[in-house]
A and B are shown apart, each in its own frame.
Chain A
Amino acid sequence: MVAFILRRLLQAIPVLILSSIVVFLIIRVVPGDPARVVLGLDASEEELAAKRSELGLDQPLPVQYFRWLGRVAQGDLGNSLVNRFPVAELVRDKLPATLELAIASFLLSVLISLPLGIFAALYAGSWGDYLTSVVAAFYLGTPNFWIGMLYIMLFSVFLGLLPPSGRVAFFDDPLLALRHLALPALTLALPAAMVQMRFIRATMLDVLGQDYIRTARAKGLREQTMVLRHALRNTLIPVVTVLGIQFGNLLGGAVIVESLFAWPGVGRMLVDSIGNRDYAITQAGLLYLVGLFIVVNLVVDLLYGFIDPRTRRGGS
């Protein structure tokens, strides 16, 4: 197992280097001058040239890249081109918020999708199944920001139950932290849960039609045991793959929700940095996302082995 993990981590290094080159080049190919962002539209060409020189942007691209890579190898992600904050410090500050929101919404989505998906599969064609389909269609067809805005208006403005924005660190005040987390987590979790629910339903229906399930039923196995021990376990193998992708999306794709709820996460920082052509932050942020996807994929692979011993044996 340890050898497997180490091998996968080593495989990640070329992926990270390749990603760093692609990211470095892509954001520089996109027109837009960080010096102009810093100094504003009214800056003269002389002022812009001085700022570019100060930011090291007047150097050839290979020189810029290897300087940056050299610093990254030593753990220095550089400074923001706009406000000069150390990027490593920024990522370190934003990461807990992003992880907190991603984990909370992921757990919430699993808690919602798993029972609903099983229910919809077991009672396929019933009014309950249709109802879950309608709810899923609503959440999947409605933009996140609109749903979030609706939650704010309902739970914060009209009912005054939950704070509409901001984040409190969990260890500072757990209850208040959960209250702040509730609306953004719910906004993110429900659409994700609907995707997962539909997938679980379809997979479970497929599994329930398999011969071994018919055999189990014929043997007189209790329905509950048959569902939990046989159907669900086999359903989970493809579901884990989807959950892994969903978790990755939650880690990097919560941008709109972070903006809406003033949640200080990495996604929002990344999007701001693209708008500002703040290369240092964009590079570090995207590398962080690539790194996280690698870790999530690794965890998914490990989970396969746990759920299905056959893959573990194959792996070893």
Chain B
Amino acid sequence: MNPSRPMSRRSALRLLSGAGASLLLAACGSSSSSTSASTSPPASGGQTASGGVLRIAEISNPRTFNPLRQNNFWSWGAIYDSLLRYNPAGELVPHLAESYTISEDGTKVSIKLRSGVKFHSGREFSSEDVAWVFEKLKEPSTGALFRTFALAVVDIETPDATTINLTFEKPEAGILDLLGNFYIPDKEIYDDLDRKGGGTGPFEFVEFIPDEKVVLKRNENYWGAKAALDRIEVQIFGDRQAATANLESGTIDIVPLTLQDYVRLSEGNAYQTPKIIGASMFNIWLNTTYEPFSDKRVRQAMAFALDRERFNSTILLGQSQATCNPLPSHHWGFIPDLDTTYAFNLDKAKALLEEAGYPNGFEVSVNVSSQSREGMGMVQILQSDLEKIGVKLTIDAKDEPRWAEAADRGEFQINMHAYGRTSADPSLLFKGTTAWRPDANPTGFADPAYLEHINAQAEVIDREQRKPLLKKLIEYVQDQSFVIPIAGSVTAYGVANKVKGLELLPVGIVAYMEIVSLS
């Protein structure tokens, strides 16, 4: 590569996907005893900055810059590096980790870290920082999504500055997801991470002014290929349409779009309009402690009464995919055979209600966030369909915090919801998200068989061996129908044509900021 020219998007993606392929080959070829992957680092100085300021619109303030927290913020990938990271194909490739090895029994992971990596403060990055992150993940007050997995680590060894060995109590397939989302902040500023960021990533945090902006600048001492952009400025809007008007007036380069604006802007060639389906999944929860829903047949009747296609065609403007699967269609664990298990059928729903002893239906209410346009739309469709089978649905709309509190406390009969982590390892989805967790589930659903199904697939590292077990798990949750998937969410962006190299991750956030440039 000519060092004087910016790395093209294609080259950069080739680099990332090449690394992905190496991992895939390693994983597929693991008839030997262990799974391992490695890649060589991007050539230092292989990319010369082309400069410029990228202006991104956000609709709300980042709630934190702490990458260990659950709440997401796209800038994590810019400010922080993770041990592994997803390439555009959705495969995990080494990043801060130069290579890693998983033992044959799946209980030990040895990670070799890159040397010469420095935090933005100038401090040297080492295995001690990784060990420290594991400890923080375990603390309840951190509120880490991956705490479930971190707690499964029973021993951490740091034999030298670039090696870290993890020991698990039992095999845990979700470990790769943990490493792929394992962003490492600078522990010396940990207490300030709610309002500023600091890691080893390609961009350094400059300032955050609430309701105004977040500014990042290029990390000139980055261990890999330096970012093309000089700065990233995130302007914080309170209104999506106003943000879109800013894209159209040329004052903003990247904007998260409403579906209406997505449809409008994607018609011409004036803008790039990337979108991701299924970063989160619309679904309803049925409270199994509420009498009609304690009967599985009534829950299944509700699953048949959900007109997913109508929801997609009217509320989501036909931009998503109706599904009965808990995982989106781009996920490796997606089971096509199970996608239409509960295709809309009011006759079947009525028959199930009669069988369960509710021939004349019943009255029920749905807890929904008034701030969710899609949620409000879906419950209105459900209300009109349920009326046809004698079920009177009352819509109980609340503002977001009140809705969330009622949902988490199980103070609902039906709850309209959208769960995230759909692109993560199924173990994380089923063990770590409120909707699906087997213990203290807000729907009141509890069955030892459910946990057994989750654990059975979670302890198998090899995906091909794991898929039949995952299918059994999904068949089980479909049969129980305490959580009923409806359709994937649509995450769409309007991007000025001058922005080059932009990629979206399956989780719906902008990624690989170091290869983004302005023409």
Report A's interface with B, CB cutoff 8 A. 30-33, 36-47, 49-51, 53-54, 80, 82-85, 90, 93-94, 145, 148-149, 152-153, 156-157, 160, 163-167, 258-262, 264-265, 268-269, 272, 275-277
CA distance A33 to B407 in the complex (A): 12
CA distance A161 to B245 in the complex (A): 14
Nearest B residue (CB) for A151: B245
CB distance from B44 to the nearest CB of A (A): 35
Q: Is B295 an interface residue (CB 8 A)?
A: no
Q: Are B239 and A260 in contact (CB under 8 A)?
A: yes
CA distance A46 to B142 in the complex (A): 11
Q: Are A164 and B143 in contact (CB under 8 A)?
A: no
Q: Is B230 an interface residue (CB 8 A)?
A: no
CA distance A272 to B371 in the complex (A): 13
Q: Are B401 and A156 in contact (CB under 8 A)?
A: no
Known contacts: A164-B251, A260-B239, A269-B211. The answer to whether A152 contacts B245 by CB under 8 A is: yes
Interface string of B103-125 (1 = CB under 8 A from A): 00000000000000000000000
Q: Which residues of chain A come closer than 8 Å to B420, judged between CB atoms?
A: 42
Interface string of B136-157 (1 = CB under 8 A from A): 0001111101010000000000
Q: Are B238 and A163 in contact (CB under 8 A)?
A: no
Nearest B residue (CB) for A54: B141
Q: Which residues of chain B come closer than 8 Å to A163, judged between CB atoms?
A: 249, 251
- Residue of B71, B209, B210 near A40 (CB, 8 A) is B71
Q: Is B195 an interface residue (CB 8 A)?
A: yes
- Residue of A30, A53, A269 near B402 (CB, 8 A) is A30
- Residue of A31, A32, A85, A164 near B210 (CB, 8 A) is A85
Q: Are A152 and B401 in contact (CB under 8 A)?
A: no
CA distance A157 to B242 in the complex (A): 11
Q: Are B235 and A165 in contact (CB under 8 A)?
A: yes
Q: Are B143 and A43 in contact (CB under 8 A)?
A: yes
Q: Which residues of chain B come closer than 8 Å to A94, judged between CB atoms?
A: 211
Q: Which residues of chain A come closer than 8 Å to B236, judged between CB atoms?
A: 262
List 12 other contacts, CB 8 Å, given A47-B141, A262-B242. A30-B402, A31-B406, A38-B69, A42-B432, A83-B194, A149-B241, A152-B245, A152-B249, A262-B237, A268-B211, A272-B211, A277-B401
Nearest B residue (CB) for A261: B242
CB distance from B371 to the nearest CB of A (A): 8
Known contacts: A85-B210, A157-B249, A262-B238. The answer to whether A41 contacts B141 by CB under 8 A is: no
CB distance from A166 to the nearest CB of B (A): 6
CA distance A148 to B62 in the complex (A): 26
Q: Which residues of chain B come closer than 8 Å to A167, judged between CB atoms?
A: 212
Q: Are B209 and A93 in contact (CB under 8 A)?
A: yes
Known contacts: A149-B241, A164-B246, A269-B210. The answer to whether A47 contacts B140 by CB under 8 A is: yes
Q: Is B48 an interface residue (CB 8 A)?
A: no
CB distance from A65 to the nearest CB of B (A): 21
Q: Is B64 an interface residue (CB 8 A)?
A: yes
Nearest A residue (CB) for B211: A264
Q: Which residues of chain A come closer than 8 Å to B139, judged between CB atoms?
A: 50
Q: Which residues of chain B come closer than 8 Å to A276, judged between CB atoms?
A: 63, 401
Q: Is B135 an interface residue (CB 8 A)?
A: no
Nearest B residue (CB) for A258: B238
Q: Is B399 an interface residue (CB 8 A)?
A: yes
CB distance from A264 to the nearest CB of B (A): 4
Q: In chain B between 261 and 300, which residues have their CB closer than 8 angstroms to a CB of chain A?
A: none
CA distance A152 to B236 in the complex (A): 17
CA distance A33 to B408 in the complex (A): 11
Q: Which residues of chain B come closer than 8 Å to A82, judged between CB atoms?
A: 63-64, 194
CB distance from B244 to the nearest CB of A (A): 10
Q: Are B245 and A157 in contact (CB under 8 A)?
A: yes
CB distance from B148 to the nearest CB of A (A): 9
Q: Is B405 an interface residue (CB 8 A)?
A: yes
Q: Which residues of chain A come closer than 8 Å to B400, judged between CB atoms?
A: 275
CA distance A156 to B212 in the complex (A): 20
Nearest B residue (CB) for A30: B402
CB distance from A287 to the nearest CB of B (A): 19
CB distance from B442 to the nearest CB of A (A): 9
Q: Is B497 an interface residue (CB 8 A)?
A: no
Nearest A residue (CB) for B143: A39
Q: In chain B between 221 and 257, which residues have their CB closer than 8 angstroms to a CB of chain A?
A: 235-239, 241-243, 245-246, 248-251
- Residue of B69, B195, B212 near A39 (CB, 8 A) is B69
Q: Which residues of chain A come closer than 8 Å to B440, judged between CB atoms?
A: 44-45
Q: Are B404 and A39 in contact (CB under 8 A)?
A: no
Q: Are A275 and B235 in contact (CB under 8 A)?
A: no
Q: Which residues of chain B come closer than 8 Å to A53, judged between CB atoms?
A: 141
Q: Are B405 and A31 in contact (CB under 8 A)?
A: yes
Q: Is B433 an interface residue (CB 8 A)?
A: yes
Interface string of B365-404 (1 = CB under 8 A from A): 0000000000000000000000000000000001111101
